[in-house]
Structure 1
């Protein structure tokens, strides 16, 4: 099979298309022919060995969709030809992948391949943020950083579905238009003035009930300052740098701070199917729209990584692995 095989850690240039051995499924696994792979900031961490414990050679990519080609002896409830999606399973930048049957998400007939590939990671993340990390209630003021990004666009829509008022934060006017189309009530463009001051202007001095911040160090302090007393800062990523250690005494206005990790939202298969089922239902009914910003061929994984690291993308970035 063809796959993106990393022989070394480093910049996007290490993502090279190569021939690789076909995966051999274990007894509880399924062989899947990959159609699309999702591109995530987690993949950048894999490529650069951010955690310092990566192994080589490796095939990056933790998310995708495809078609079941073979089932092993202990697998029930699936059949060859079934479209499935997955998240948090490494090796997705490849034509074939062996996956635990328990990790597979059946894709409803009415959901297109591209949408099925784009939704699991960012959809579950947005669902977690707005329903568990901070369950948005009617009237809550929610600040969403990077509101035109893949998570931001979905999070804005889910917060609105739950009755929240969304203040989106974006870097350009073009991205502001996307955030408004997703339902943002107000959009703050650029960083010429402190975020906290603009949020307080929009809330008559009160501040936000919750700030959803996937940026990290670059925005952390202004996110804190944007909250009302007893407000909540939900941090879910550090694309703008790791937040340095803080002392509890330094936190203003008795605010709450949490770091949200999507795997805690899906501790078992029942939760995985329940949450993705709700997301698919919202998409099928038109309540939730999945924005796909760019689709690159598998061989252009390097370009896809440069695009997401350059912060110029909106919506989801995908790799097309095989045609349907």
Structure 2
């Protein structure tokens, strides 16, 4: 187990910066509650406070994982995958024949995927779900001889395994990277989360300040071109400024951040499309002010695999 003293100076600096930002945000939010809402319930301000409090919890969890080491990251994201898959499965059309596939995913596939990452068996954890589990899940369903909406049930469940387990597990897989002259992989995890989540926040802020033209009003009415452009450019500059967390140069960090922002944006839209198709607004209410686990991770789902493979290919 690491101690605070053994955590890199760069990560300590990041945590202090995040703490300062959250302290300022908390103070502003509570001042607004008393100045604008006069201490009374106010939907917008109360939601803002709930979001900031959730960020405090998430920052604390990230710090705890940094102290405990890579196995804490593996455990954390295995739990996140299980919660996300549970949220996803709750929306699916299911029949008795799907029982064993669901149990297999929750009690065997998730532990095995993260175990393979823990022993750094790259070749296997890259094909375990996309090949072997893709074969196995419809085979299990066949034993019940239930063909009612078979393709829909199988395809939607397999898509859930990909986004909730395979894609999300790439965040934990970052800890296995062996990069030239760089060993603080927890900082890469922090960089990914900082840029992708920062882009979401900055797009929201820019959208509120000057957003007028919706990008996809039927999928996500709150996303505007002004918010998208302002948020992506701001997060790209943020990534360049935080290059010291990574093995990248400032220019490389900016380019990587730009790619992460774009992938995160499309990940959010895809997950919004799935929600609209299912007739819901949020995936759940696990995180106050944010919705469900998938609401908080929708941008990371698409950006994490791209970040992992680009970093592994160009910096290993």
Question: If each structure's helix is expressed as a fraction of its own residues, which one has the higher value?
Answer: 2
- TM-score under structure 2 length normalisation: 0.28
- TM-score under structure 1 length normalisation: 0.28
